Structure 1
Amino acid sequence: MRWDDFRSSDNVEDRRGMGGGGGLARGGGLGIGAVMVLTLVGWALGIDPRLLIGGAEMVAGGGSGYSQQQQQPRGRTGAPQDEAGRFVSAILGNTEDVWRDQLPKQVNKQYVDPKLVIFSDQTRSGCGAAQSAMGPFYCPLDQTVYIDLSFFNDMKTRFRAGGDFAYAYVIAHEVGHHVENVLGILPRVQERQREVGKTEANRLSVRVELMADCLAGVWAFHSNARWKSLEQGDVEEAINAAEAIGDDRLQKQAGGRVVPDSFTHGSSEQRVRWFMAGLKSGQISACDTFRAAQL
């Protein structure tokens, strides 16, 4: 992937090396051992590990995992100087350039840039604990993407899904959630999830995740059209990454049986199909997973 010519974003905060997120443990956060256990249990049972971790964080902290009352640490702002940090800043900057242009053109909506926090091991987000075992995630309450860059190494070694474009796809997917938030989709889905049972709530979560996959494809389409950013093999890298983190694949790897009703992100086939729908069309309208009769 050609990313050296991308504009670096200034909306990056680097909290790496800040000693566990500026007092996360004092606020009742979970230890890394507990997080790893909950992650393994989640994959084995077909439950999104973030739900288990968030629930345990609520118990440990004595409050809501989505509270913003605890003060968040502040790291260095602006584009980092190391290669991994520069890569993240460049990809974020490119998503900003694409969505600032395409959101008004396609849906007559102004794009508001998200923030991105790089951390190591653990920190605090507007949605509660952010720990590396949870993987990258987007918090709608503070409109921020959180990522421990060790996840890229996990993709390469554990999931065998390495490569610059695979890593860029992960960032673009989380930014896709921000686009959903700007469009007002996330608040409506979260409200609906509180009204329905677990199975239907999981199905809504799958539609949100697959839409973010599709929006990542839309970003890639326009990034390549304007900056010629894609190289041979890049699309295959993203497909490999999407397949590797499908719910069915993760449940099999955890030694459990595949339970579709417990899916929260979609199967490998679904994730690839929706990413490609966005990549082939470049249209936000192609990403309406909520109107799709079948996923």
Structure 2
Amino acid sequence: MRWKGRRRSKNVNDMRGSGGGGGMFRIPSGRGGGFRIPTGGQVRPVRSGGMGCGTLIVIGLILWALGLNPLSILGGLAGGGLGGGLGPSISPQQSPEVNRQTGTGGREDEMREFMEVIMGSTEEVWDDIFRAYGKQYPHPRLNLFDGQVRSACGLASAAAGPFYCPGDSQVYIDLSFYQTLARQFGAKGDFAQAYVLAHEVGHHVQNIIGVLPEFNRMRQSMGKLEVNQLSVQVELQADCFAGVWGHYVAKQGWLERGDLEEALVAANQIGDDAIQKRTQGYVVPEAFNHGTSEQRRRWFERGFESGRIEACDTFNARSL
């Protein structure tokens, strides 16, 4: 990626070395607790006695166009906001090599600069998209941590992977995750790393337009299988939103030969089916909550090729 020398976000907080606080939050098999979203087969939107998320995102866009506040209206529909049950939204994401030495300097400084630049690019892209609807995009904060961290969603360890906490509208990433993805998953490259961050920012967009609050409301009356199916749709939409971001940075000349393939390889390596095969040797589709390798790759490509958030309606798609 041609990222050097570009604007750096001021919304990046380097918490590394601060200890993060508190005890450990156990997260099995590389998946996060709380608001997790693995993959599944082809599913239709899950309805639960109220508006589905597909209806919700369309209504959110209409409200923007009419000059109304979708947050207040959709917040009411979602039963008073997020509640205490919505924890980290986590997807095992991609990775370049990160040399974690004691203290900072060298590669550590370069990685922080890279994250600041990518965060800045997401701010610019989503600023423009929201502005097209006559609205302002509230920027999330990115927290770089090591070991463990305390967020409004509770305590999390580095094993959780990158996650977005809707309770404080912040993204959390332990940079050692990129090393893990590179070594264990074979997903290397700066655009693969950028895709990880763009995916988590995609969850922030979902939080703003009301998708995450509605998901939290609906899941309260669902069984585990239904929650997993709906989780897949939420995660794939975040992949698609990451692709929308990629579309615009590509138009701005950021990408070099091979960059797109890096993101696609990363998406392929972190599909639920690929992770299950790697960790347990067999696949259990009922346990998918982020999407299969094919689905994750397809929805990222859909956003990348179209550059339109309307193309990311996973909730009303005939197939995923």
For normalisation by structure 2, the TM-score amounts to 0.75
Paired with 1:250 and 1:118, the residues of 2 have a C-alpha distance of 25
Question: Structure 1, residues 56-107: CA drift from partner, whole Å, max 9, x if none?
Answer: xxxxxxxx7869xxxxxxxxxxxx98101011111000000010001231x4
More helix by share: 1
Pairwise CA distance, 1:52: 11
Give 1:163's aligned residue.
189
1:250 is the counterpart of 2:275: yes
Gaps of 5+ in 1: 54-63, 68-79
Pairwise CA distance, 1:130: 2.2
Paired with 2:155 and 2:244, the residues of 1 have a C-alpha distance of 30
Paired with 1:181 and 1:119, the residues of 2 have a C-alpha distance of 22
1:94 is the counterpart of 2:121: yes
Tell me how many residue pairs correspond in the alignment. 254
Question: Structure 1, residues 155-201: CA drift from partner, whole Å, max 9, x if none?
Answer: 11111001000000000000000011111111001111111111110
Give 2:234's aligned residue.
208
SS of residue in 2 equivalent to 1:6 = coil
Give 1:175's aligned residue.
201
Give 1:3's aligned residue.
3
Equivalent pair of 2:240/2:300 in contact (CA under 8 Å):
yes
Equivalent pair of 2:11/2:142 in contact (CA under 8 Å):
yes
SS of residue in 2 equivalent to 1:254 = helix
Paired with 1:65 and 1:178, the residues of 2 have a C-alpha distance of 17
1:187 is the counterpart of 2:213: yes
Paired with 1:254 and 1:115, the residues of 2 have a C-alpha distance of 32
Paired with 2:147 and 2:245, the residues of 1 have a C-alpha distance of 29
Give 1:241's aligned residue.
266
Change (3 A) 1:65 1:189: closer
Equivalent pair of 1:274/1:287 in contact (CA under 8 Å):
yes
Larger relative contact order, structure 1 or 2 (CA cutoff 8 Å, min sep 6): 2
* 2:297 partner letter: V
Equivalent pair of 1:66/1:126 in contact (CA under 8 Å):
no
Change (3 A) 1:130 1:6: farther
SS of residue in 1 equivalent to 2:33 = helix
Pairwise CA distance, 1:248: 0.3
RMSD: 2.0
1:269 is the counterpart of 2:294: yes
SS of residue in 2 equivalent to 1:158 = helix
Q: How does 1:17-96 map to 2 (within 5 A)?
A: 17-18=17-18, 20-21=19-20, 23-25=21-23, 29-30=24-25, 35=26, 38-40=27-29, 48-51=31-34, 82-96=109-123
Please identify runs of 4+ aligned residues in structure 1 that moved more than 3 A: 64-67
Change (3 A) 1:228 1:138: same
SS of residue in 1 equivalent to 2:125 = helix
1:232 is the counterpart of 2:257: yes
Equivalent pair of 2:9/2:116 in contact (CA under 8 Å):
yes
SS of residue in 1 equivalent to 2:155 = strand
Change (3 A) 1:123 1:253: same
Give 2:90's aligned residue.
none
Change (3 A) 1:52 1:234: closer
* 1:239 partner letter: L
Change (3 A) 1:167 1:132: same
Pairwise CA distance, 1:39: 2.1
SS of residue in 2 equivalent to 1:8 = coil
Paired with 1:13 and 1:242, the residues of 2 have a C-alpha distance of 26
* 1:253 partner letter: R
Q: How does 1:83-162 map to 2 (within 5 A)?
A: 83-105=110-132, 107-162=133-188
Paired with 1:204 and 1:65, the residues of 2 have a C-alpha distance of 16
* 1:281 partner letter: S
Paired with 1:271 and 1:12, the residues of 2 have a C-alpha distance of 27
Equivalent pair of 1:2/1:228 in contact (CA under 8 Å):
yes
Paired with 1:100 and 1:5, the residues of 2 have a C-alpha distance of 20
Gaps of 5+ in 2: 37-83, 88-106
Give 2:78's aligned residue.
none
For normalisation by structure 1, the TM-score amounts to 0.82
Identity of aligned residues (%): 51
SS of residue in 2 equivalent to 1:117 = strand
